[in-house]
Homo-oligomer: A and B are copies of this chain.
């Protein structure tokens, strides 16, 4: 059993306010915990079931405090509906310099409020090896437990930043392309896109906010032939990124 103080600390980290105050976040579930332990992010504390901890014993870096709990207790500490493996408290990684460079593509998210979508987008950024993900202040917290779970381990590899998005975009060099999805944009199948600059994705319900839209240098349209009005934000980003990288990778 963990102490009351530890239980209180873990529960506090369910909330953004306390993640910022303590500069720490939660990593839940076996796969994510293993990715954390083999990454450069510092693990403060590991709490798990006896079976799982036994299985990963060799992967735990020296000096990480480990506590053994029952599945019931672990589930009570966790935000997951059940947890029979582990959770870890990790230090928020220090922010890297945010310097868009030619030949690199950044993904920017404008008011993407669903943590599952933000996590899926970070995982997608990892797949394409993007320079990182810039989240507007109004996005779901990239360090929320639901976001971290949805990244499927990519939270250890993809740099993320939180910024006032119109302000940041407004300060970029004039010559840097800023792309966004738009139903009236250019058909991506007819373009030869190169992964340089910034691709901005908006919220599902409202699209890009006007101040962000004003910063775009090119609008991109994904042609469809059915009757859906729109696509999920991660789905749209995936199709666009595949169009950016289809001339590069392979």
Contacts and interface: CB of A to CB of B under 8 A. Distances in A.
Contacts of A129: 224-227
- How big is the A interface, by class? 35 or more
A230 interface: yes
A187 interface: yes
Interface in A211-234: 222-232, 234
A189 B250 contact: yes
B249 A152 contact: no
A206 to B, nearest CB: 13
A126 B235 contact: no
A231 B125 CA distance: 10
Report the copy number of this chain in the oligomer.
Answer: 2
B152 A225 contact: no
A127 B189 contact: no
A238 interface: yes
Contacts of A231: 123-124, 127, 238
B245 A223 contact: yes
Contact of A116 (B116, B153, B246): B116
A75 interface: no
Interface in A98-156: 116, 120, 123-130, 152-154
Contacts of A230: 152
A239 interface: yes
Contacts of A153: 228-229
Given A124-B235, A235-B238, A189 B249 contact: yes
A130 B235 contact: no
A242 interface: yes
A96 interface: no
